[in-house]
Structure 1
């Protein structure tokens, strides 16, 4: 494994810091492009290694993940005027848990939010892994990632497939995930579902309509239940799960930067803006699904 993947990414910018939480058992590399883009837009960005959560650290319970993320948030809050939180996949669930614990956060950005592994590429036996956790398999079995590796971009997918064969970790995540880690992710999801309606922070949700790992239900359910007065939802139609690396990563980065600045300006001026956004891609897909439903009826 390349030791570089285990290092915190930190880019000094202005007084608005963004704490960036990568996916389960992975590394800050997943956030590298977005961190650089936001820094070029003036933000201070920090994508840390979290003890007990990130690759290369000893696995811990989800309460330990949240404590580690809280320490990172508090360290940034002590230095910068504003701190927003951005999470990817299970990292987005962790971001929701953190913003509930630290409601003074400026805003929260949820990228490919995962509260349930229910995408089209998840194997039918996935639910059995929850039961396997309580069996002797708990310490032996590891869930292996497979094609498409969260990527619609075929060239990048081929590159990642080769990296997965050589190493335990790539820029889009680990090659395998342990049963204990998946069990703790399920516990985190339940923790977040019970608290989402209490969250009032400005919220951005970005999700691919063809996400193979977490279906759009994850994003829609949170959008429907979160207590945010300012909510912006962006739907992508040319990406899979790893939207910080896939075909529309520039859109993700640009929309995230725009949202965070809008949130900052709104709080300064006292003007709440930012209407929900439903993309044409989603509207088109929903019409297609409706048409198929009518034919099947």
Structure 2
């Protein structure tokens, strides 16, 4: 049984649901959670189904299971708050957009960090970038390659070299709950592609305010992923490119700007804004 690593930080009646990425962990949202909590918001960092365990645990789940984790977590958090924001990193941002499209009257705003519909950043080998969209569905249909993985390579989505080494050591040390898995299993990547296709079709139905934060030099997900959201959603949207980070913008060099812009966005679209530290931002 997978150990639980989700966490709830109770505070005011404005809530923020945090969604980590594929093969990731709630730990990658810890800094954001801490800043939101300091600003007076109730924060819940969920753990997606199949994550924080073994590769077998992950490939036993489908994208619908990951999305159900979001639904269940949002239902829980909404019982404790009056206003709900959803916030996700990478694939977590895709799940946040899907939940927003399906629950338009329940979400005050969506914060999409490094939103990823395709792994098309500069560190992704060209062969993997172009072959994956047809290779992975074929492998799924033929039920082959179940235990194959696309292993992560430096820089692991992190420009900060000191932090990169710490994360790499934890990842290679097998601590999936702290640093995620060291690669992406083929079956899980195929599920990710199915999820991405599903959400792209729903983007134009999103009228909820969106904040898009993306590294200008993202090594995993090219900024065209964020531009797709910016150019397709129907509601108010703000897109900011961060110059000194790679994919993991919640922990990389631009994290302070991410915190400030995120809290400012939540304040702008909150019904009841707490008078807290965020006033100074």
Asked if 1 retains the 8 angstrom alpha-carbon contact of 2:46 and 2:69, the reply is no
Q: Residue 197 in 1 paired to residue 204 in 2?
A: yes
Q: Which runs of 4+ in 1 moved over 3 A?
A: 131-137, 170-173
User: Whole-Å Cα distance in 2 between the matches of residues 256 and 149 of structure 1?
Assistant: 24
Write out per-residue CA displacement over residues 62-91 of structure 1, whole angstroms, 9 at most, x where no aligned residue. 122212211111111122101110000000
Alignment map for 1:54-93 (pairs within 5 Å): 54-56=51-53, 57-58=57-58, 59-93=60-94
CA distance in 2, matches of 1:119, 1:149: 12
Distance 2:67 2:169 in 1: 33
Q: TM-score, normalised by structure 1?
A: 0.83
Match of 2:250 in 1: 244
Aligned length: 262
Q: Which one has the largest radius of gyration?
A: 1
Alpha-carbon offset, residue 166 of structure 1: 1.1
Give 5+ residue unaligned stretches, structure 1. Answer: 269-297
TM-score by length of 2: 0.88
Describe the superposition over 1:81-108 as per-residue Cα deviations: whole angstroms up to 9, x where unpaired: 0111000000000111111121121110
Are the aligned partners of 1:9 and 1:32 in contact in 2 as well (CA < 8 Å)? no
2:279 match:
none
2:95 counterpart residue number? 94
Distance 1:146 1:133 in 2: 24
Supply the RMSD in Å over aligned alpha carbons: 1.9
Structure 2 residue aligned with 1:142, among 129, 137, 149? 149
Q: Higher relative contact order at CA 8 Å, sep ≥6: structure 1 or structure 2?
A: 2
Instruction: State the distance in 1 between where 2:101 and 2:183 align.
Output: 30
* Contact kept in structure 1, 2:47 and 2:69, CA below 8 Å: no
Q: Alpha-carbon deviation of 1:136?
A: 5.3
